[in-house]
Amino acid sequence: MELKDFIENFAAQFDDTDQSEFTPETEFKALDEWSSLTALSIIAMVDEEYDVALKGDDVKKAETIEDLFNTVKSKL
């Protein structure tokens, strides 16, 4: 899996945040649009795109998008 694709898939779960905001270093939980409802979309995306079941703790522990990417990658 590629980081670039992961970021694209990640960004696609947001409606109001400018796409340029999404980089490997983005601390996604600090985004205005982030909420526990967005978290469900991310879990759904990871399940669909990578067939990986993320736990709540995986999302809580990740600070940046790249952190989450690495978590998903480790579960592949």
Query: Is 58 within 8 Å of 71 (Cβ atoms)?
Result: yes
Give the tokens for residue 14: 């947001």
Is 40 an interacting residue with respect to another protein (CB under 8 A)?
yes
Q: Among 23, 25, 55, which Cα is nearest to 39's?
A: 55
Select from 24, 56, 61, 73 the one that contacts another protein (CB under 8 A).
56
Q: Which lies closer to another protein via its Cβ, residue 23 or residue 43?
A: 43
**Interior angle at CA 45, CA 40 and CA 75, nearest 5:** 100
Is 24 an interacting residue with respect to another protein (CB under 8 A)?
no
Select from 21, 25, 27, 48 the one that contacts another protein (CB under 8 A).
48
Give the tokens for residue 18: 């400018």
| Shortest Cβ 41–another protein spacing (Å) | 8
Which residues of this chain interact with another protein, rule CB under 8 A?
35-37, 39-41, 43-44, 47-48, 53-56, 59
